[in-house]
Structure 1
């Protein structure tokens, strides 16, 4: 494909993503995967170029664009090479009209920027929420050390924050490497790895990952526990949890998987009540800390959506509290930078449970925030996270 055709393809792809974002439909990643699957004639270099254009255009637009062309026009204001590619050629986009309007630029919709600022993410730090993220991997301590893994990789990797982190350039095809197939590492943002260490999971303990999803943090816990003890991964999403057994087998991790019935979770956890050493609550949230990877997520948010996530977090924290033994602990994590889904949620839990106490974890990077700890892209070079450690009486 020539460069103009790539621009038109990015416009077409963005049109599908914008429709999905407005309707709370499939994610941009899913839309792109399906779009390229239906166009197998598009070569790998063209796919990469089209995807980069689409994601850069999403990052360039603060509000949801009217359509993909408006999004590319906004990107063209920032990239002087792009306007010439609107050339009207056979497979390229039509020339830019004299009065044609580009989408609105910016980091996010105005109301969301105000909410971020009120949560301590000031204007000078907000642009970093949309920078391209590096690729971080976690050496699987059940199979190999970080230094041993670094020697074996086909490209140079730099140690990142955390004991097992290696950092590689964005787009490195690590999942095609034999080292990945052998379970020597997992793809995981350095921030996600660090907030797992705040759990301080120990060999021999009983640990529950209450919102395990696909199991990225579950596998990190298994490595911390050296496969000694009992690790139970729970979720209400059958599709997401179904990926964990295969991932655990590849990593050599011993994990029990438990599918819970949404709204009736206590029934599925009754046998664990009051017996668990530690519960990880990697709570559902708005994902404001992951915009580097999912820039379209900011177009899907409303105040009502954030309120709904806050209510879910309160519910899951109360579930976790019923599982913990006396003196046990909860690790509360969100990949959100909004206080409503972080420090406020912890403060509300402590108000409901005044005998519990917060023990803010001091990670090697990040800053104290509220009754916990915060990592941000601008300050720490990781995805954004809030983490708190809560101790039962």
Structure 2
């Protein structure tokens, strides 16, 4: 493919990404993969080059562009020269999409801790972090098995790999000795302080990444992973089998989750609420997430977080703890949500997470790409009296 033909391919993909972001469809990675499944003529160098163009264009624009053409014109105007198989030449007065990091409407929602000087890091390319299954292996042993790896600076379970590393075909991955997990996510599990003999509920477990981390840290605990999404929760059992972890799954029926949780009332030593959120802390991995978020969606997410926290509160036994986390850098989803929870539930008190990482943010801690080098997370702990 010529450079102009690569740009045209990127435009076609970006048109799909823009439509998918608008309609809450599949992510950009899946769209890129699907595009090339039907275009076998494209070699590996072409696929890599087009993918890089697509994600460079996505990172360039904070607001969702009008079209893939506008998105690409902003980063490669010199290739709009009318070449065969390439995009049509630039029309008089035609301009590309505007550059930006944070959508204009969202800037006021950011935590004050995320200063302008560190916002560029929100779009930096993220490394590949692995979590060692400490129930079955040591970090030192795994560092020796993964060439080019290094220990993560904050999590004692973590290994950091170059961004382009492939681990799915590594023997240690197949044996369940490591899992792909950002260091920030590992720190959430560490903030839970799981212990053998405890009943632990991961209330919004999704595919179970944090449930697996909790089970590895406390193999003698009873770990329960619950969610309302059958497809995502269904991914956990084979992962648990591979890791040698004992994790029970509990599929909840929305909006009647309270009925499904009734038998757990007042019995949990730990409830982790890793709540649905804006995902603003993961923009470096999913930069098109900025294009998916809208004011009305943010309001729905904040309402869901409040509801899930209120579902979690009666499940914690006296003396137990509730850990709230969101992969968000927005104040209303983090410290605002945590403070509101305390105002509604007088039987809980905020206590320190015990993490050395992160900056204090009200009753919790905030991790950011620019300060800690992790994905962005807010984490707070509440103890039940």
1:92 aligns with 2:86: yes
Counterpart pick for 1:182 among 168, 175, 190: 175
Matching residue of 2:190:
197
Matching residue of 1:354:
346
2:215 touches 2:221 (CA, 8 Å); kept in 1?
no
- Cα shift at 1:95: 3.1
Matching residue of 2:46:
46
| Aligned-partner Cα distance in 2 for 1:143–1:36 | 39
2:352 touches 2:381 (CA, 8 Å); kept in 1?
yes
Matching residue of 2:377:
385
- Cα shift at 1:391: 0.4
- Cα shift at 1:360: 2.5
Q: Secondary structure at the match of 2:352?
A: coil
1:366 touches 1:373 (CA, 8 Å); kept in 2?
yes
Matching residue of 2:30:
30
| Aligned-partner Cα distance in 1 for 2:29–2:314 | 36
Matching residue of 1:79:
none
Which stretch shifts more, 49-58 or 193-202?
Answer: 49-58
Q: Secondary structure at the match of 2:226?
A: strand
- Cα shift at 1:98: 4.5
| Aligned-partner Cα distance in 2 for 1:119–1:303 | 19
The 5 Å alignment of 1:294-313 reads 294-313=286-305
| Aligned-partner Cα distance in 2 for 1:51–1:331 | 38
Runs of 4+ in 1 over 6 A off after TM superposition: none
Cα distance change of structure 1 residues 203 and 46 upon mapping to structure 2, 3 Å threshold: farther
Matching residue of 1:75:
75
1:148 aligns with 2:141: yes
| Aligned-partner Cα distance in 1 for 2:325–2:81 | 48
Q: Secondary structure at the match of 1:4?
A: helix
After superposition, give the CA deviation of every residue in 1:180-201 in whole Å (9 maximum; x if it has no partner). Answer: 1111211111111112100001
- Cα shift at 1:378: 0.7
1:362 touches 1:368 (CA, 8 Å); kept in 2?
no
TM-score by length of 1: 0.94
Name the Cα RMSD after superposition.
Answer: 1.5
Cα distance change of structure 1 residues 176 and 75 upon mapping to structure 2, 3 Å threshold: farther
- Cα shift at 1:280: 0.6
Matching residue of 1:292:
284
Q: Secondary structure at the match of 1:340?
A: coil
| Aligned-partner Cα distance in 1 for 2:181–2:48 | 21
Q: Secondary structure at the match of 2:242?
A: helix
Q: Secondary structure at the match of 2:365?
A: strand
- Cα shift at 1:178: 2.2
| Aligned-partner Cα distance in 1 for 2:295–2:78 | 40
The alignment covers a number of residue pairs equal to 384
| Aligned-partner Cα distance in 2 for 1:152–1:25 | 38
Counterpart pick for 1:138 among 131, 134, 138: 131
| Aligned-partner Cα distance in 2 for 1:61–1:15 | 14
Q: Secondary structure at the match of 1:148?
A: helix
The 5 Å alignment of 1:49-128 reads 49-76=49-76, 83-116=77-110, 119-128=112-121
1:360 touches 1:368 (CA, 8 Å); kept in 2?
no
TM-score by length of 2: 0.96
2:133 touches 2:178 (CA, 8 Å); kept in 1?
yes
Q: Secondary structure at the match of 1:278?
A: strand
1:306 touches 1:340 (CA, 8 Å); kept in 2?
no
1:362 touches 1:373 (CA, 8 Å); kept in 2?
no
Gaps of 5+ in 1: 77-82
1:251 aligns with 2:256: no
| Aligned-partner Cα distance in 2 for 1:368–1:308 | 26
| Aligned-partner Cα distance in 2 for 1:152–1:300 | 39
| Aligned-partner Cα distance in 1 for 2:236–2:21 | 28
The 5 Å alignment of 1:219-230 reads 219-225=212-218, 227-230=219-222
| Aligned-partner Cα distance in 2 for 1:98–1:248 | 58
Matching residue of 1:80:
none
2:148 touches 2:162 (CA, 8 Å); kept in 1?
no
| Aligned-partner Cα distance in 2 for 1:40–1:328 | 56
1:132 touches 1:293 (CA, 8 Å); kept in 2?
yes
